[in-house]
Amino acid sequence: MYVPKAMEKYKQAGIEKIVAEAQRQVDEWKKSKQ
């Protein structure tokens, strides 16, 4: 089925974006703590 596969792709892209953003914030926080 086409639609669920597309949704899965978008969901994964969204999760990757969230993880990347969270990682960026952690890096910023680490810098500010030094």
Q: What is the pLDDT of residue 21?
A: 96
Q: Tokens 């890096």 map to which residue?
A: 27
Of 4, 5, 28, nearest in space to 20 by CA: 28
18 or 5, higher pLDDT: 18
What is the reported pLDDT for 6?
Answer: 79
Domain ranges of the chain: 1-34
- This prediction's pTM: 0.59
Q: Using 50, 70 and 90 to split pLDDT, how confident is the model at 7?
A: confident
Confidence at residue 1, expressed as pLDDT on a 0 to 100 scale: 58
